[in-house]
Structure 1
Amino acid sequence: MDDEMTFILSDKPIKIEKDIKEWTTDDKRRNNLDNHCRSHIFKSLDRNTFSMVRECKTAKEACEMVIQLHEGNKRTKENKIMVATQNFENIKMKPGETMKEFSDRFTNVVNELSVLGNKYDNKEIIIKALRSLPSTWDIKTMVGMQKAKMG
């Protein structure tokens, strides 16, 4: 069964170019497996993604569409990395923002970079976070930076 599933999701989508009355047992099994795979793909999607994928006729089509929607092509990924890197480099704590709000926002930027394959070591992240704090945090920032440099 696994070999058939691999075949279903391989290079060529299943397209049985015969009248359904002429299908062989193998044609029926392949079609059924494709429907089964497509059904599982559809069930795993949120409503928005499903609405964009539901017209796909084969499991391979659906799988490729999901990948395109979530990862994009190489150029899209490069743009996402560039934007996330700029967000990391430019992040600053906003006036009136609590430390929790800033920490959540900062963590989201670091996580986004990590998902895209750009990882920073903990020392770099700590130093960037401390440098992103406003001047009212200077004393605490200096102490934190000393600890980060020592560790």
Structure 2
Amino acid sequence: MENKGQAVNHPPLFKGTNYNYWKQRMITFFDACHIDMWDFVEHGNYIPLDDAGRELPKAHWNEEQKHRFILNSKAQNALICALIEEEYTKVHNFKSAKQMWDTLALTYEGSLEVKCNKLILLVHKYELFEMEENESIQTMFGRFQTIINELSFLGRTYDNFDHIDKLLRSLPRKRRP
């Protein structure tokens, strides 16, 4: 019997679309692999340096430094396994999982200016949200949830009271309680 779901030991595949969805799944994958792995991807800092800021030879690494290097290598491996060839070519030369992750984020989320513009457009979409003619409540709720999730990815959240109020006001008068 073929398993159609995602195996725990295999990262979710990124094909160049739905980056935010993949990103959240990948963060969960890192957490499931090791409690510190996401921290290494997010913050980097895996190559031991001497007081002058030069890389220490591996022969001089202590156990903690070796552990950090291994976590970075495992995170890099997970990222490489999670990318189709076209995406892999964008990040394969980097030494750290952080560099790989940041490059993908910049490519698919954009710069701070791009994120701000996306946020402005999404807030506007949220504020003007209405149920479309002949749309089911389930479809409307799905569209609304997508907007909320995209806003959340960009750091803008609303509380549940705001969501409920917005949804109720978005219903046509004949459907309002």
TM-score (norm 2): 0.53
Q: 1:62 and 1:136, CA in 2 relative to 1: closer, same or farther beyond 3 A? A: same
Structure 1: distance between partners of 2:154 and 2:120: 10
Paired letter, 2:90:
V
SS at match of 2:135: coil
SS at match of 2:46: helix
2:111 matched residue in structure 1: 73
2:168 matched residue in structure 1: 130
Q: 1:55 and 1:99, CA in 2 relative to 1: closer, same or farther beyond 3 A? A: same
Q: 1:64 aligns with which of 102, 108, 112?
A: 102
SS at match of 1:7: coil
Aligned 1:101-120 pairs, distance under 5 A: 101-120=139-158
Confirm or deny that 1:38 pairs with 2:76.
yes
Structure 2: distance between partners of 1:123 and 1:9: 48
Paired letter, 2:110:
G
User: How far off is 1:51 after superposition?
Assistant: 4.3
Paired letter, 2:95:
T
* Structure ranking higher in helix proportion: 1
Q: Which runs of 5+ in 1 are unaligned?
A: 11-15, 17-23, 144-151
User: How far off is 1:52 after superposition?
Assistant: 5.2
1:98 matched residue in structure 2: 136
Q: Which runs of 5+ in 2 are unaligned?
A: 1-35, 37-43, 50-54, 60-65
Structure 2: distance between partners of 1:38 and 1:123: 41
Q: 1:91 and 1:49, CA in 2 relative to 1: closer, same or farther beyond 3 A? A: farther
- RMSD after superposition: 3.6
User: How far off is 1:131 after superposition?
Assistant: 1.1
1:7 matched residue in structure 2: 46
CA deviation vs aligned residue, 1:24-64 (integer Å, no higher than 9, x gap):
765xxx9x967665333212x34387245245343354233
Q: 1:54 and 1:74, CA in 2 relative to 1: closer, same or farther beyond 3 A? A: closer
Structure 1: distance between partners of 2:159 and 2:86: 33
